[in-house]
Structure 1
Amino acid sequence: MKRNVLLLALFMCMPFLTLAQHNQAGQTPYAGMQNRAIKSLSDNDINELRRGGGWGLALAAELNGMPGPSHLLELKDKIPLAADQVDKTQVLLDEMRKAAIPTGERLIAAEKALEAAFASGKVDESSLRRLLADAESARSELRFIHLSQHYKTVLFLTPEQIKRYNILRGYADDPCKNIPAGHNPEMYKRHMGCD
């Protein structure tokens, strides 16, 4: 009798368990993005582009020992940088932002045009190629702007300063021994898989 009641209870719960699994499986990484003004750009992305920020476009340089001007200035006292190096770095940062801000606006406008085309349902192969070319042209130029300033910093930094920068940014050979400033040591070590 108890067995029959248990089986009946399980049987009655099955539709709810299936429904719960279905709803969980229906959740995608894109859920919520449908409400964005420009689906391919978050508010943070747009803000980063509008301020001339790096947006991760210079990782090829950054992670290969070519510091970016923005982070160099943040760490100028800890590296340390000489006064003339600070001045040179500031010039690079100013040049970068002067070029990056309007180019970032171009990228935002191109992504907005792509968004509008799909929202209106008026997309064909020709218009799609043109819209993508516009967006990728802006993205490529923006990436060039950021990467080009990175390789210029090594022209006036010493190898010791670059090594110190990499340690301070957490890029040293042993991340477990070189915890970047501002990070919780326990959480950082756990995240990095340190023993």
Structure 2
Amino acid sequence: MRRHIVIGFAASVLSTPVLADDSHTPYAGLASRDIATLSESDIAELSAGRGWGFALAAELNGHPGPAHVLEHAEDLGLSPEQRKRVEEIFTAMQVEAITAGAVFIAAERALDTAFSNGGLDAAELEVLASAAGQARSNLRFVHLSRHLETLEVLSAAQVAQYNDLRGYTNDPCAKIPEGHNAEMWRRHNGCDS
């Protein structure tokens, strides 16, 4: 008798519809995006050649980026030669990042379109996913490599000053550097944990 009660209970639980809970639908509203994986602001950021967080491994480990070095050029006491070289690095990065960003956006669009159209098979998926992954990797390399180049231009004292100006101290949560999205900064630095 007890076995029938348990089976009956399990069947009723399994057949009961689960009500939608907003806290369990993190993708709600994203279906209307032009490209499922990229928001309009993501596309704008990538199209403009901005970092999109790709260089955090360098930035947060003592390898300054050219854009932010130029923002802090006065405070860092850049010499005219240093400024000229960092400007060259930044310009080259922008040109390459805009091109690589367009390739990445196109690869994500192709992947999204293939799923949207239906009939996608594993072989085609592998090609599309690999292309999108390679495009992302290439774009990330563009940004990270410019941090390496910029580091070579600066003195150790300038790098230390840069890290201080950017808020990369022992407690990154104590001060959010100017120009950073506060929510993103807190998330990347574990401030809200």
TM-score (norm 1): 0.78
What percentage of residue pairs aligned between the two structures are identical?
45
Change (3 A) 1:181 1:58: closer
Change (3 A) 1:177 1:46: closer
Q: Which range is displaced more, 76-85 or 171-180?
A: 171-180
Q: Is the 8 A contact 1:96 1:146 kept in 2?
A: yes
1:163 — aligned with what? 160
Aligned equivalents of 1:89, 1:109: Cα separation in 2: 30
Q: Deviations over 1:139-191 (max 9, x none)?
A: 111111111100111112011111111111111124466663479xxxx99x9
| Equivalent position SS for 2:38 | coil
In structure 1, list runs of 5 or more residues that go unmatched: 1-20
Between the aligned partners of 1:162 and 1:132, the Cα distance in structure 2 is 38
The answer as to whether partners of 2:76 and 2:158 remain within 8 angstroms in 1 is: yes
Structure 1 residue identity aligned to 2:95: K
Count matched residues.
169
1:32 aligns with 2:41: no
Q: Which of the numbers 134, 148, 153 marks the counterpart of 1:151?
A: 148
**Which structure would you say has the larger Rg?**
1
Letter in structure 1 aligned against 2:70: L
TM normalised by structure 2 equals 0.79
- Is 1:167–1:180's contact at 8 Å kept on the other side of the alignment? no
Question: Which whole-Å deviations, capped at 9, do the CAs of 1:51-109 have from their partners, x for residues lacking one?
Answer: 11111111111111000101111111222322211111110011111111111101111
Matches within 5 A, 1:1-195: 22-25=19-22, 27-175=24-172, 180-181=177-178, 192=191
- In 2, are the aligned partners of 1:167 and 1:178 still within 8 Å (CA)? no
**RMSD of Structure 2 on Structure 1 (CA):** 2.5
